[in-house]
Amino acid sequence: MSDMSRLTGKIGDATLIEMSPDSPCDEDNNGYHHHHRDIDLDEYPHSQPDPSEVDKHQKSKDSVFFRDGKKRIDFVLSYVDDRDGERKQERRREYEANLQKAGLELETEDKSESDDRKTYFVKIHAPWEVLATYADVLKIKVPFKENDIPVHQDIPMDWLFTPFRLPDHIMNPEPDYFTSPFNKGKIDFFLIDDKETFFPPSVRNRIVYYILARCPYHKTDREDKKGIKRLLNNGTYGSAFPLHDSRYWKPSRDSNSESERFNLYTHWAQFFSFFKEQPLNLIRKYYGEKIGIYFAWLGFYTEMLFFAAVVGLICFLYGLFTFDDNVWSKEICSEEIGGNIIMCPLCDKKCGYWKLNSTCNSSWQSHMFDNVGTVFFAIFMGIWVTLFLEFWKRRQARLEYEWDLVDFEEEQQQLQLRPEYETKCTSRRLNRVTQEMEPYLPVTSQCARTFLSGATVIFWISLIIACIIGVIAYRLAVYAAFASIMKDSPTNNIHMVGSLITPQLATSVTASCINFVIIMILNLMYERVAIWITDMEIPKTHLEYENKLTVKMFLFQFVNYYSSCFYVAFFKGKFVGHPGDYIYMFGWSKLRNEECDPGGCLIELTTQLVIVMSGKQVWGNVQEALVPWVMNRWGSRKARSHPESRYSRWEQDHDLQNFGHLGLFYEYLEMVIQFGFITLFVASFPLAPLLALLNNIIEVRVDAWKFTTQFRRPVASKAHSIGAWQEILNGVAVLSVVTNAFIVAFTSDMIPRLVYMYAYSNDLSMKGYINNSLSVFNISGFSKDNRPEDGESPEWFNSSVITTCRYRDYRYPSGHEKEYSHTMQFWHILAAKLAFIIIMEHVAFMVKFFVAWMIPDVPSEVKARIKRERYLIQEYLHNYEVEKLKIQLSQRNDDCCCTPMIYPDISRHVVLSECL
């Protein structure tokens, strides 16, 4: 053998040799990376070496099997050997020895074979005995009989849905079986064709992770330190992950590998499949039930949004096509009416008098969202949100049965102690259940940490409110500047849009943009703070940790995203006083509270909602897709030039981003915040569901693309529902009925118009409404601080001729015995608003509870299937035990000392007592 070559190991009977760069063979069959140009066997098929040698090599590198090509790699651990890492080496040695004692098989790839020449990879395989034992412990359900219940799917016009369907082998990768919890002692009870493929890879990696999470790595007199999570936290191992089964853009060459990742990418993750159904069964099979439930919920939510989007679009078009019936806008735009109505200044000193017809465009814009359709759509959304939540419960119940989650309880791995809890809690006490000493956090420390955490949350929420007040102050200060600049309408010279720009619109748009930037900055900052204070509380379990973080993050984001909308909807223009007696911000500042446009505040709420909602969705999608892609491109920049034979499966996955245990948390949070936008304020913007629908169509494919191409394969885990988010959605749904009722009553002008038409109009028309809704003020009553400065009023204003101005309110004029106090019409309108709120809420809640009562949470078909399955399990188990007893009795000799063949490792009396 040449001095420039060396032995590297064996595959079967073949000796593997690393060749020198000067060797006649340019490609190292063992996957070592040289500095000379690599030759891809795909590009040069005629230059391939012996086929048998290539096959063995392919199995050892770009495959999910050990070097022997038979043992599946169920998990991979990686680490970098530090110079000062003797303690870590000792931990690894003990941990890996204990893993082998637990029955797992390990194979280590030396750092010289890795791309960076620094990283070791430990490949883990779980033999059948280990899988069977822990499948029994975890009560994993496996098939025992084919489903014999006929499925009735007589859908009218079924052929119309053909373009949206995926191939059956993708939608239903496995036949439908009745299942029962696995019992190692009754192996012949289950449908086992091949032990190697009986447990799918997702189940295998879940079982291996269960062992990794409990295997000890250091024993002391006080405790056993154990678990891969603690080893990852203290840097003993760099990462731990199961492998993807192939590259995402082409199937695996190994016929024993499923290539499910390739199928998911081809049929699910590509954007041009946006109109296709999601292969939920394949998602569940590959990623586990927890991720499957998320995509099922996201897909169902998107489907339901379609109906809300259609109705919202119809309501918008109704407002668009009923311009001709908009009498009050015609009066505002009319030169005879709006052109002769002189309005009082909207701010002190810097704002001049103005004519009502200058708000003509905003009045027409407001009508598109503030019309009779608004009331209908608000009520419709109250019913829609109920139908969405109720039908989701049914869909969830169906998935629970189909995915064997009916009797599922929270897994022990979710309820086990967090490594941080065990490390930071030095106190120990006896657990009455396990009778073992366990760490605990003293009550005093727990209370102090909770108090500090709560104070931090309150501080950050106060910071949001302070920022909102700052934006309001910006509105007040900048409006005066815009009003002064635009008093002679210089923007009319701007091509096309110049005539649409008003001081109100300019102020609203710029303030909304600034508010959005503040929201995103605060959100990024608080995200780290929320994780820090949750860590500070030291939650006991991972489930408790996630629930605490969920409450903190949702509460903060609720205030952060919605507070500006709440201000515009319920506070702006409601506390302004009247000319001569204005109300100022904080009572002492020189900033006068904002007034609503004569067309109403609804159009400003619409502007605020569109900017914040659209900005968040665009930013979220760009961030979700771009950040992991850039990080992966940077991390794998050296390895991308290697051919498949040199870039091993474990290295490819190691270079991907880690999908943390909070990965789905952020996905849910994003969608729930969006759900709040389309329900809480939908009365102001009927197109909000349409924007959400378009975003979610992209969101599904972006998330799918991330999971299949940018993230390591997460450990499969179970979940029978969307968890705490279900209750949050229910709370938002109830609150949305209240907010929409208040928006229609107090933010829009719907109720004042109806009161005028039915109580104050002579001919049940809207003629004269504008004049009726504006009160009169004597200009001489302005104080020096309120009166416009010289030169601020337009050229057409003549103070000797014009002695009064109008303002938006219902008050008696000057000279009246009740001067500037509210008229009776004001109280009639207020009563009508309160009555509308009460009626709308009661109607919406009655319909909501009636619909919830009418729609059962679990479909009758699913109930029947569950009963049928439980009946068959009892019947089959009974027959199985009877047949087993017969066999045992027939094989028993006279002295009954033989061990039954079915249980060769169990004594006879145990078997007999079990049978009896």
For 63-88, write each residue's pLDDT tens digit. 888 888 888 999 999 998 776 678 88
Its sign, for the CA torsion 29, 33, 34, 35, is positive
Q: Which residues of 485-504 are buried (b: 16+ CB within 10 A; e: fewer)?
A: ebbeeebeeeeeeeeebbbb
Task: List the single range of 399-408, 483-492, 651-660 with lowest mean pLDDT.
Answer: 483-492
pLDDT (mean) for 584-593: 75
* pLDDT tens column, 426-439: 777 777 766 677 77
Residue 494: pLDDT band with limits 50, 70, 90: very low
Q: What is the pLDDT of residue 33?
A: 36
- Assess whether pLDDT exceeds 90 at residue 675: yes
**Could you tell me if 161 and 111 are in contact, meaning their C-beta atoms sit under 8 angstroms apart?**
no
Give 722 or 646, the one with higher predicted confidence: 722
pLDDT (mean) for 142-165: 73
The single residue listed with the structure tokens 């303030």 is: 511
Round to whole Å and give the CA distance between 183 and 610: 56
Give 4 or 76, the one with higher predicted confidence: 76
Regarding beta strands 342-343 and 177-181, do their DSSP bridges make them parallel or antiparallel, or are they unpaired?
unpaired
Residues whose CB falls within 8 Å of the CB of residue 26, separated by 6 or more in sequence, listed in order: 36, 39
Round to whole Å and give the CA distance between 793 and 812: 26
pLDDT (mean) for 34-54: 36
Residues whose CB falls within 8 Å of the CB of residue 748, separated by 6 or more in sequence, listed in order: 370, 374, 600, 602, 683, 684
Tokens of 828: 């009639």
Q: What is the pLDDT of residue 299?
A: 94
**Which of these, 503, 624, 522, lies nearest to 564 by C-alpha position?**
522
What DSSP designation does 349 have? Answer: S
Tokens of 454: 């709560």
- Assess whether pLDDT exceeds 90 at residue 185: no
Round to whole Å and give the CA distance between 676 and 732: 6
Q: Which residues of 579-600 are buried (b: 16+ CB within 10 A; e: fewer)?
A: bbebeebeeeeebbbbbbbbbb
Q: What is the pLDDT of residue 908?
A: 34
Residue 910: pLDDT band with limits 50, 70, 90: very low
Tokens of 21: 């760069």
Mean pLDDT across the chain = 80
Round to whole Å and give the CA distance between 631 and 58: 28
Q: What is the pLDDT of residue 28?
A: 35
Name the CA radius of gyration of the chain, rounded.
35
- Assess whether pLDDT exceeds 70 at residue 275: yes
In degrees, rounded to 5, the angle at the alpha carbon of residue 74 between the alpha carbons of residues 263 and 105 is 155
Tokens of 771: 């004049």
Q: What is the pLDDT of residue 155?
A: 63
Task: Determine how many CB atoms are found less than 10 A away from the CB of residue 448.
Answer: 11
Q: What is the pLDDT of residue 570?
A: 86
**Could you tell me if 436 and 430 are in contact, meaning their C-beta atoms sit under 8 angstroms apart?**
yes
Residue 484: pLDDT band with limits 50, 70, 90: low
Tell me the three-class secondary structure of 581-628, residue by residue: EECECCCCCCCECCCCCCCCCHHHHHHHHHHHHHHHHHHHHHHHHHHH
Residue 782: pLDDT band with limits 50, 70, 90: confident
Q: What is the pLDDT of residue 645?
A: 54
Distances 224 to 215, 438, 644, 656, 677 between C-alpha atoms, Å: 9, 11, 42, 33, 49
Name the burial class of residue 227, with classes exposed (0-12), middle (13-18) and buried (19+) by CB atoms within 10 angstroms of its CB: buried
In degrees, rounded to 5, the angle at the alpha carbon of residue 660 between the alpha carbons of residues 534 and 99 is 105
- Assess whether pLDDT exceeds 80 at residue 8: no
pLDDT (mean) for 139-160: 73
Q: What is the pTM of this model?
A: 0.83
Round to whole Å and give the CA distance between 398 and 394: 6
pLDDT (mean) for 614-637: 81
> What's CA 516's distance to the chain center, in Å?
20
Tokens of 629: 């892609």
- Assess whether pLDDT exceeds 80 at residue 29: no
pLDDT (mean) for 616-642: 76
pLDDT (mean) for 662-673: 88
**Which of these, 683, 504, 529, 550, lies nearest to 609 by C-alpha position?**
683
Highest mean pLDDT among 79-83, 662-666, 755-759, 854-858: 755-759
Q: What is the pLDDT of residue 435?
A: 67
- Assess whether pLDDT exceeds 90 at residue 306: yes
Give 642 or 541, the one with higher predicted confidence: 541
- For residues 853, 857, 861, 866, the Cα torsion angle rounded to the nearest 10 degrees is -130
Q: What is the pLDDT of residue 696?
A: 93
Name the burial class of residue 765, with classes exposed (0-12), middle (13-18) and buried (19+) by CB atoms within 10 angstroms of its CB: exposed
Name the burial class of residue 53, with classes exposed (0-12), middle (13-18) and buried (19+) by CB atoms within 10 angstroms of its CB: middle
- Assess whether pLDDT exceeds 50 at residue 495: no
Round to whole Å and give the CA distance between 767 and 329: 11
pLDDT (mean) for 96-101: 92
What DSSP designation does 325 have? Answer: G
Q: How many residues does the chain have?
A: 916
**Could you tell me if 556 and 467 are in contact, meaning their C-beta atoms sit under 8 angstroms apart?**
no
Give 324 or 93, the one with higher predicted confidence: 93
Round to whole Å and give the CA distance between 815 and 798: 23
Q: What is the pLDDT of residue 424?
A: 75
**Which of these, 711, 746, 753, lies nearest to 367 by C-alpha position?**
753
Tokens of 389: 């939540």
Task: List the single range of 255-259, 371-375, 484-488, 728-732 with lowest mean pLDDT.
Answer: 484-488
Regarding beta strands 239-241 and 75-80, do their DSSP bridges make them parallel or antiparallel, or are they unpaired?
antiparallel
Round to whole Å and give the CA distance between 248 and 705: 10
Q: What is the pLDDT of residue 628?
A: 83
- Assess whether pLDDT exceeds 90 at residue 123: yes
293 CB-side CA count, 13 A: 28
pLDDT (mean) for 698-714: 92
Name the burial class of residue 764, with classes exposed (0-12), middle (13-18) and buried (19+) by CB atoms within 10 angstroms of its CB: exposed
Residues of the chain with pLDDT > 70, as a percent, come to: 83
Give 911 or 546, the one with higher predicted confidence: 546
Round to whole Å and give the CA distance between 772 and 336: 16
- Assess whether pLDDT exceeds 80 at residue 791: no
pLDDT (mean) for 238-260: 86
- Assess whether pLDDT exceeds 80 at residue 480: no
Round to whole Å and give the CA distance between 285 and 199: 11
